[in-house]
Chain A
């Protein structure tokens, strides 16, 4: 079946540091890939997505590239801020209205 594996957290960085959160997936066919962010006490918000190989999703300084050859969708940001502290989820969706399959989430803490 489909699955998503994320690097375990927590990840603690200083402000302006470079961020990478690794995500790899297992899926049949050509899934769409997503990154969601969850701030404390809230639901999940879509951060970015990519729907085919070599697509790059980007939003708010975050980027991720759909790499089919390595089945990966790593999240990166060049300079993190304290306000980026949250839990980040990688997810995939195979087709139609099938549910998202999520990774376990990676908690990021950015300190000033």
Chain B
């Protein structure tokens, strides 16, 4: 079955460490996205990529970095510069270059930094 796989489901890190969240899709989608979800705040966009080897900052990119070396993969690194990294992180992808295409989401990674 096609879909988006995020791993791991739960991740624990000590403060000051960088951590990388995995996102893989086998839907052959061009565009991929990272959102952060906090209670009461909805979803906020971190980074997105419309094509391989290119990506754009979203609304809250500070303290995060991404790469898009392959169409299928869009890993997110949470660096030690991110002040409040504990959150639920959602990866998504979409197919056509039209506004009516929905985003398909993975099941998320819950990151806890202590």
By beta carbon, the residue of chain A nearest B107 is: A43
1/0 per residue, CB under 8 A from A, across B89-105: the answer is 01010100111111111
Contact (Cβ within 8 A) A100 B106: no
Measured as residues with beta carbon below 8 angstroms from the partner, the interface class of chain A is 20 to 34
Instruction: Please pick, from A34, A102, A103, A104, the residue contacting B102 in the complex, using a CB distance under 8 A.
Output: A34
With beta carbons under 8 angstroms apart, the residue of A44, A51, A93, A96 that contacts B90 is: A44
Interface size on B, residues (CB 8 A): 29
> From residue B62, how far is it (CB to closest CB) to chain A in Å?
17
Whether A102 touches B106, Cβ cut-off 8 Å, given contacts A43-B90, A93-B99, A97-B97, is no
- B51–chain A nearest beta-carbon distance, Å: 9
Beyond the given A44-B90, A100-B43, A102-B42, could you list 11 further A-B residue pairs with CB under 8 A, ordered by the A residue number?
A41-B108, A43-B4, A43-B92, A44-B105, A51-B99, A89-B43, A93-B100, A95-B98, A97-B31, A99-B45, A102-B43
Does B48 lie at the interface of the complex (its beta carbon under 8 Å from any beta carbon of A)?
yes
**B24 CB to nearest chain A CB (Å):** 14
